Amino acid sequence: RTPVRRALGRLAADGLLVRRPGRGTHVAVRPPGHRPPASVEVVTATVLTEDWCWPLQRAAAQLMDDQPGRQIKLQFNVAELPLLHHHLARAVAHGQAPDVSIIDSVRVAEFARRGYLWPLDQIDPSAAAMLTADLLPPLRAANTYHGELFALPVEADHSLLWYRLDWLEAEGLAPPRTWDEWLDCLLRFRSPVVHRRHGLGPYPLAFCAGAAAGETATYQLLPLLWSAGADVITGQEIVLHSEAAIAAVGFAADLVQTHRVAAPDVLTAHGNAPALALAAGTVAFALGGSYESSLIRAAAGWSEREFRDRIGMLPMPAGPHGQPASIMGGVSYGILRQSRQPALAFDLLTRTLRPENWGSFGAERGVNPPTISANAELDPAANPLAHDAMTLLPYGRERWPLADYPRVSAQIVQMFETALAGLITPVAAVERAAAVISGITGLPEQGARWSTRHPAQYPLVRIS
């Protein structure tokens, strides 16, 4: 057994095998034309799936071509996103952190505060300054903590409203730009004649609004707050407690309780359920993200051309006193403090963003590159989905780079969940969430409180 383990270890070190914790060892998917390097310098990386190995493999081959005689080997581990935080924390605790790891951008501030990550300007100040200046502003902000860039975004994805473009055109409806227009469309698709014409399920809209979906629920619903003109944190204050936030939570609750255009099971839906419902043709609208385009195409059995003919994308429609809104997010690469090769790791990461290394990877995923310059040069013929998604760039905003962001996110979801379930009024849900988020962050609430009640004094009792 020992010789076999050694052989497998060598193959993994050469990038020919990928070790997946708890799921075994698999042959690595190799990019076309890749030349396996004979290695001297080892760089370890944690990625989400095998295809995430490709840009790093291309970057390593490119570096060795540029610097003859230098030999690099890459060793990959795969950790699925829901398990990634635990996987990295455990590796750091055991002194076995990789050189490089994918990190959800909303966890960058937390990892930076814990001291897990290198500030990139401490590795290569010149390269870090150039990258920082070129990053899309929301991604730059999301990956910055206390004024330092701690992670390099790999992609720009957008929260959005998917809709059946072909069905709206058949009904003579324009894509909705406001809440009122959106509701009119939803009620039209709920009417018996239109419902039967397109073979819809019982509800024309799908989204996630409960803890079962985790961060996906925040990703889908936070833009609804923004589209009403509300926010959660501005500067150093909690500003959630507002008429605009109450309107947003009330509108979401009415979609389920009053207008019945979304199912009550939005409270238990998991993250990819809305996209799959859209692919199955049971809904006309679904909240989701641009990264889901490949999932929708695969589930529906559509070609890229068929997908673009059938499906449209919009930012969250504007509320009465707001503007259309979208979250710009994605995952990033961080360089761990325990890395033995931080300079080499940073060189490889910057090379992954070059068009020749990133282009086909981004095209397959349907996401945008993370830099201003790369988006300006997007070829609509080579990357049509990312080119389409460029229409969302002006509306993109970042979630707050907070070390306690996961706890804040959970309160945003609970605010919507309890109101949609009829356990508490939208007014009380917003007031309660604002008070709890203030306690989590230590930031004061803006202005005078509308009520002096402690959050625990809001009993979660179903409203009749």
Identify the structural domains of the chain with CATH numbers, from first to last.
Answer: 2-153+331-366 (3.40.190.10), 158-327+402-457 (3.40.190.10)
Both tokens assigned to 104: 């959800």
| Mean pLDDT within 447-462 | 48
- If pLDDT is split at 50, 70 and 90, which confidence band does 99 have? very high
Please determine, for residue 455, whether its predicted confidence score (pLDDT) is greater than 80.
no
Residue 12 confidence (pLDDT): 59
Out of 130-139, 379-388, 453-462, give the one with best mean pLDDT.
130-139
- Residue 453's pLDDT band (boundaries 50, 70, 90)? very low
Quick one: average pLDDT of 63-82? 91
Name the residue among 156, 189, 155 with its Cα closest to residue 172. 189
Higher pLDDT, 13 or 171: 171
- Looking at residue 377, its pLDDT comes to 85
Q: What is the pLDDT of residue 428?
A: 97
Q: How far is CA 438 from each of CA 68, 242, 362, 434, 442, rounded to the nearest angstrom?
A: 56, 14, 38, 6, 5
Q: Identify the pLDDT of residue 450.
A: 45
Residue 362: pLDDT band (50, 70, 90) is confident
pLDDT band at 360 (very low <50, low <70, confident <90, very high): confident
Question: Is the model's pLDDT at 26 over the cut of 70?
Answer: no
Averaged pLDDT, 37-57: 84
Give pLDDT, residue 40: 74
Residue type at position 268: T
How far apart, in whole angstroms, are the C-alpha atoms of residue 64 and residue 67? 5
Please list the alpha-helical segments (H only) found in 209-292: 215-227, 243-257, 273-280
pLDDT at 32: 44
- As beta bridge partners, residue 316 has 325
Per-residue model confidence (pLDDT) at position 385 = 84
Q: Name the band, by pLDDT with cuts 50, 70 and 90, for residue 384.
A: confident
Contacts with 102 (C-beta within 8 Å, 6 or more apart), sequence order: 46, 47, 48, 52, 84, 154, 331, 332, 333
Return mean pLDDT, the chain: 89
Of the candidates 253, 220, 224, 226, which has an alpha carbon nearest to the alpha carbon of residue 239?
A: 226
Q: What pLDDT shows up at residue 355?
A: 82
- Closest Cα to residue 214, out of 156, 272, 139? 272
Res 401 pLDDT > 70: yes
| Residue 11 reports pLDDT greater than 70 | no
The residue with tokens 């936030």 is: 245
**Least confident segment among 48-52, 243-247, 358-362:** 358-362
Q: How confident is the model at residue 37 (pLDDT cuts 50, 70, 90)?
A: very low
**Band of residue 338 on the pLDDT scale cut at 50, 70, 90:** very high
How do residues 290-318 score in pLDDT, each as one tens digit? 999 999 999 999 999 999 999 999 999 99
pLDDT of residue 277: 98
Phi and psi at residue 313, in whole multiples of 5°? -135, 140
Separation of alpha carbons 135 and 150, rounded Å: 13
Count of residues in the chain: 464
Residue 456 has pLDDT above 50, yes or no: no
Q: Give burial (CB, 10 Å; 0-12/13-18/19+) of 236.
A: exposed
Region of poorest pLDDT, from 176-185, 269-278, 383-392: 383-392
Q: How far apart are CA 26 and CA 40, in angstroms?
A: 23
> What pLDDT, on the 0 to 100 scale, is given for residue 379?
83
Mean pLDDT on 120-148: 95
Of residues 365 and 77, more confidently modeled = 77
Is residue 452's pLDDT more than 60?
A: no
Residues 388, 313 contacting (CB under 8 angstroms): yes
Tens of pLDDT, residue by residue over 235-293, are: 899 999 999 999 999 999 999 999 999 999 999 999 999 999 999 999 999 999 999 99
What is the gyration radius of the CA atoms in the chain, in angstroms? 23
SS3 content of the chain, % helix, strand, coil (to 5): 50, 15, 35
The percent of residues above 90 in pLDDT, for the chain, comes to: 75
H or E element at residue 46 = strand 41-47
- 199 DSSP 8-state letter: T
Lowest mean pLDDT among 11-20, 134-143, 325-334: 11-20
Instruction: Give residue 17's pLDDT.
Output: 64
CA atoms of 3 and 434, how far apart (whole Å): 59
User: What pLDDT digit, counting tens, does each position of 406-447 carry?
Assistant: 999 999 999 999 999 999 999 999 999 999 999 999 999 986
Q: What is the pLDDT of residue 332?
A: 95
214 alpha carbon, distance to own chain's centre: 12
At 464 the pLDDT is 38
